[in-house]
Structure formats: structure tokens, C-alpha cells
């Protein structure tokens, strides 16, 4: 570890951000001003070069195309081994000691809350540094346990549950993955795309209550940028919800969700959603779904051979959950086999 930060070095950072530092970070830097940790590097106070708080802040401002004087520009304090910065969200609260912690990936501008408090980060660090996986090669099981540790330390942080859900899904445990995606969707703030992941799994697993709950969150009004964060379009959500028509009786819950989607859709999508709504209202067969991607496995006359090829493609990542849900080619096979059985395949990284 490095020597303690001087009052002048700490004051330099505080003068630059026109705010006191969070008390716990100030205390930590006054003991160890930067230095290597088992999972990355603690940035130091003083100066504006590589490895310093102000240097990392200037780099983050350049990447986000924001001025360093922006009072809501995140304040970096830690550089993870994978190149991601951890930074305080100065725009979340007026008092430094209540700033949550954001993850700032090295090649993306989508910042997400990963720790509710600095104390949560410290507690998770201690859990990680004493875990049996420390220093071991990356593995699916280790990734799952890391997510579970985070969820135990900070059960109200969506990113923790999303990590667990992703690991469980790849482990072939879709019901448990769905539960974790639902928990992530209930957190404030949520990870918007978790509701789409939950909706897909819920429909494939036949869990109607979970599908309707995830659907309600997905259908709430959002700007175009919000829909981009959800990684889905209103028409695709409507198509997925339409698959529930035989399971939701009376249909009012579905009709209410579809009504919310229409004004948020592009003009050409509004007709698609309207057709689905009419079918739901009249108790008719909904229009065929449209695939989100090119069909990876063409339909075959022999159902067993078709299933074998689909199983191989799903294991290799060439077919995804949304393909199983919305590609009409695979829906034909669903009449003979449970597509959800594919979700039980373990897929290592």
C-alpha cells in the first residue's frame, strides 16, 4: 500500500469537484493513498496523471463527452482489473456520504449502479478477497458464487441479482434464474433489460404470474432511450405477451398492457400491436410472431433430428431465448417438445 494522502492532496480533489469527498473514502485515502488491491487499484489523491482520481476523472469525462466541470460527472476512485472504473454518482444526491457507486465499463457509456454505498463495496471486497475462488481461473460456478456474495451483501442492488440470474441461466437452472431476474426488476433503480429477460423465461416456463409482473414493468411508459436500455421494442413485447392469450382469462390484464404499448411504438409497429390486441379481445389466434434474428436452424421433417440440431445450436449460443420464444420455425417444434427443456442445458463460458 502507498503512504497516507496529505491534506493538500485530499484538498486538491475536493477543490476540483467543489465538494467534500465521501467520509469513508477520505478516511481510506488518509491511511493509504492508492495502491494495489487483490482485484484492482485504489486511485490516489493528488495530481492528475495515470493512477490518480483526477486523472481518471479527466479520462472518464473525455469518454462520456462531458466537461470535467460537470457537477454530476462521476467521481472515480477504483480501477478494477478488467479496466472498469468504479465511481461515485455525484448526481444521485446532494451529500457526498450518500453517493452510490457506479460501474463504468472501459468501452461503454452505460453506467449502472453496482453498490448502494461505499460500505457495501468494502464489505463485498472483503468477501471476495477471502473467497476460495480468489486467484483461481474464471469459471461459471465461481461467477455464480461471486454474484451470490454480492446479493447477500447488498440485496437491494439490481446488478447483484442480474449476475446471479445470468449465471443460473447458463447453469441450466431457468426457474432459479427467473426468480433472480424478477428480484433485479423489483430493485430501485432496476436494470431495465432484466424485465425482458424475465418475461422471456416466464413465458417459456409457463409462469403466467411472473410473465404478467415483468410485462407490467416493461410496458410502463419510457422514452426511446429507455426502450433501448430495455433491449427490446414495444412490438416485440406485444408479440411475447400475445403468446399468453390462452392462459390469461379474462383477457383484461393483457389488453391493458397492450394498450400501454401502442402509443410508445413506431407507426409501423402500432398496426402489429393493434392486430395482437384485436385477437386477444376477440379470443382469436394471435398473428404469427416475427423472429428477432435470422433463423439459425431450419425446420426439418424429422422432429428428433430437428430437436438435436436445435439443442446443438442452443448450446453453442447460436439460438437464444428470444429465438425460442418468437421464431415461428421453432414454435412448430413446441407442439411436440417443451422448448423450455433447452433452458436446462448447462453452458460454460
From the number of C-beta atoms within 10 Å of its C-beta (0-12, 13-18, 19+), residue 37 rates as middle
Domain closes at, from 71, 90, 118: 118
Q: What's the rounded Cα separation, in Å, for the pair 124 and 135?
A: 16
Q: Which pLDDT score, from 0 to 100, does residue 168 have?
A: 98
Kindly report the pTM of this predicted structure: 0.93
Q: What's the rounded Cα separation, in Å, for the pair 4 and 59?
A: 24
Q: Is residue 33 part of a domain?
A: yes
Domain closes at, from 118, 152, 182: 118
Q: What's the rounded Cα separation, in Å, for the pair 280 and 224?
A: 26
- Expressed as residue numbers, the domain containing 44 is 7-118
Q: Is residue 102 part of a domain?
A: yes
Q: Is residue 267 part of a domain?
A: no
Q: Is residue 169 part of a domain?
A: no
Q: Which pLDDT score, from 0 to 100, does residue 1 have?
A: 59
CATH number reported for the structural domain that contains residue 11 in this entry: 3.40.1580.10
Alpha helices in the chain (DSSP H): 7-17, 23-31, 53-64, 118-129, 140-153, 158-170, 174-186, 192-205, 208-219, 224-230, 234-242, 252-261, 267-282, 303-315, 321-326, 328-333
Q: Is residue 146 part of a domain?
A: no
Residue 103 backbone phi and psi in degrees, to 5: -95, 125
- Per-position pLDDT tens, the chain of length 349: 578 999 999 999 999 999 999 999 999 999 999 999 999 999 999 999 989 999 999 999 999 999 999 999 999 999 999 899 999 999 999 999 999 999 999 887 789 999 999 999 999 999 999 999 888 999 999 999 999 999 999 999 999 999 999 999 999 999 999 999 999 999 999 999 999 999 999 999 999 999 999 999 999 999 999 999 999 999 999 999 999 999 999 999 999 999 999 999 999 899 999 999 999 999 888 999 999 999 999 999 999 999 999 999 999 999 999 999 999 999 889 888 999 999 999 999 8
Structural domain tally of the chain? 2
**Chain length of the chain:** 349
Helix axes 23-31, 7-17, angle to 10 degrees: 150
Domain closes at, from 68, 89, 118: 118
Q: Is residue 218 part of a domain?
A: no
Question: Considering only CA atoms, which of 224, 287, 219, 206 is closest in space to residue 256?
Answer: 219
Q: Is residue 233 part of a domain?
A: no
Residue 92 backbone phi and psi in degrees, to 5: -85, -20
Cα Rg of the chain (Å, integer): 24
Q: What's the rounded Cα separation, in Å, for the pair 53 and 44?
A: 6
Residue 38 backbone phi and psi in degrees, to 5: -60, -25
Neighbours of 300 (CB within 10 A): 15
Q: Is residue 263 part of a domain?
A: no
Peptide bond into 250 cis (omega under 30): yes
Amino acid at each position: 500500500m502507498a503512504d497516507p494522502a496529505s491534506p493538500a492532496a485530499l484538498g486538491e480533489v475536493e477543490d476540483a469537484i467543489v465538494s467534500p469527498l465521501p467520509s469513508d473514502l477520505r478516511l481510506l485515502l488518509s491511511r493509504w493513498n492508492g495502491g494495489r488491491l487483490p482485484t484492482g487499484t485504489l486511485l490516489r489523491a493528488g495530481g492528475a496523471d495515470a493512477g490518480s482520481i483526477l486523472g481518471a476523472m479527466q479520462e472518464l469525462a473525455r469518454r462520456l463527452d462531458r466537461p470535467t466541470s460537470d457537477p454530476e460527472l462521476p467521481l472515480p476512485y477504483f480501477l478494477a482489473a478488467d479496466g472498469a472504473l468504479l465511481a461515485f454518482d455525484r448526481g444521485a444526491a446532494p451529500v457526498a456520504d450518500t453517493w452510490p457507486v457506479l460501474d463504468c465499463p472501459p468501452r461503454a457509456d452505460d453506467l449502472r449502479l453496482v453498490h448502494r454505498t461505499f460500505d457495501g463495496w468494502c464489505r463485498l471486497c472483503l468477501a471476495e478477497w477471502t473467497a476460495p475462488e480468489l486467484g483461481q481461473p474464471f469459471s461459471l460456478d465461481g461467477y455464480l458464487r461471486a454474484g451470490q456474495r454480492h446479493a447477500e451483501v447488498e440485496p437491494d442492488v439490481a446488478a447483484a441479482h442480474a449476475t446471479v440470474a445470468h449465471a443460473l441461466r447458463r447453469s441450466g437452472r431457468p426457474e432459479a434464474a427467473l426468480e433472480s431476474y424478477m428480484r433485479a426488476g423489483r430493485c430501485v433503480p432496476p436494470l431495465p433489460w432484466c424485465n425482458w429477460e424475465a418475461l422471456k423465461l416466464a413465458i417459456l416456463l409457463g409462469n403466467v404470474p411472473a410473465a404478467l409482473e415483468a410485462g407490467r414493468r416493461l410496458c410502463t411508459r419510457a422514452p426511446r432511450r429507455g426502450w433501448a436500455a430495455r433491449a427490446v421494442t414495444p412490438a416485440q413485447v406485444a408479440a411475447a405477451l400475445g403468446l399468453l392469450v390462452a392462459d390469461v382469462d379474462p383477457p383484461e390484464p393483457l389488453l391493458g398492457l397492450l394498450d400501454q404499448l401502442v402509443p410508445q411504438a413506431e407507426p409501423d409497429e402500432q398496426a402489429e400491436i393493434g392486430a395482437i390486441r384485436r385477437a386477444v379481445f376477440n379470443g382469436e389466434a394471435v398473428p404469427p410472431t416475427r423472429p428477432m434474428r435470422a433463423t439459425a436452424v431450419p425446420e426439418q421433417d424429422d422432429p428428433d433430428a430437428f430437436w438435436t440440431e436445435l439443442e446443438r445450436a442452443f448450446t453453442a449460443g447460436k439460438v437464444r431465448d428470444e429465438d425460442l420464444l418468437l421464431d415461428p420455425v421453432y414454435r412448430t417444434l413446441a407442439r411436440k417438445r417443451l422448448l423450455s427443456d433447452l433452458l436446462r442445458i448447462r453452458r460454460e463460458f
